[in-house]
Amino acid sequence: MTHETRLAELIAPVVDAAGFELVRVRVTGGRTKTLQVMAERADRTMSAEDCARLSRALSPVLEEADPIDGRYNLEVSSPGIDRPLVREKDFEEWRGWPAKLELNRLVEGRKRFKGVLAGLDEGKIAFDIEGEDETALFPMEWIASAQLILTDDLLRETMKAEKQNPPA
C-alpha cells in the first residue's frame, strides 16, 4: 500500500462527512512537502468556499494523525476543468469526452495517447485513440496519468454545472 493510499484512507471519511467526494491525494515537494487533496461535490463543482471548509475539516484530523514526516502544507482544490481521471467512475462518467492518457509502459511503441473516453469494459479503460479504428482497452494499473482535454464543449459543460449548482 502506497503512502498516498494510506493518506486517502485517513482523509476519505472526513471528505465524505463534509459532503464531498475525494478525487485524488498526492504528496509533492522535497524538504517541505505539500499534501494535495483534490475533491468535489457530487454535482462536480467545488467553490473556493468549499475548499476552505474542507481544509478546516481536514486540519485537526491530519494534525492528530501526523501522517507526513516533517513540515508540510495542506492544499485543497477542485479537479479543475481539464480534470485528472483517477477513479474508475471518472472514466465512465466522462465517456464521450476527449482525453489524453499516459501509460506506465510502452504499448505499440508509445506511452501517450489522445482520443475519446469510451467508458469501462470488464474493468479496463476503453479508449478510442485518435486515428485508430478499434477501441483500445487499458488495464487501470497501466494508467500513469489521464486527464480531460480542454475544449469549448468542456468549458460550456462546466459553466452550466456551476450555474445550476451555485456555492452553498
CATH value at residue 100: 2.30.30.180
Task: Please calculate the CA angle 155-160-166 and round it to the nearest 5 degrees.
Answer: 120
Q: Residues of 20-55 as b/e, b for ≥16 C-beta within 10 angstroms?
A: bbbbbbeeeeeeeeebbbbbbbeebbbeeebbebbb
In the sheet with 110-121, reading across from the earlier edge strand, the strands are: 136-139, 124-129, 110-121, 98-107, 143-148
CATH number at residue 71: 3.30.300.70
Residue 118 lies in a domain: yes
**Same-domain status, 69 and 119:** no
Q: Give the pLDDT score at 82.
A: 86
Distance CA 54, CA 49 (A): 9
* pLDDT tens across the length of the chain (168 residues): 788 889 999 999 999 999 999 999 999 988 889 999 999 999 888 999 999 999 999 999 999 999 998 889 999 999 988 899 999 999 999 999 999 999 999 999 999 999 999 999 998 999 999 999 999 999 999 999 999 999 888 888 877 777 776 655
Is 82 among the domain residues? no
Q: Are 65 and 39 members of one domain? A: yes
What burial class does residue 4 get, using C-beta atoms within 10 Å of its C-beta: 0-12 exposed, 13-18 middle, 19+ buried?
A: middle
15 and 65 inside one domain: yes
Look up the domain containing 21 and give its range. 3-77
Q: How far apart are CA 56 and CA 40, in angstroms?
A: 15
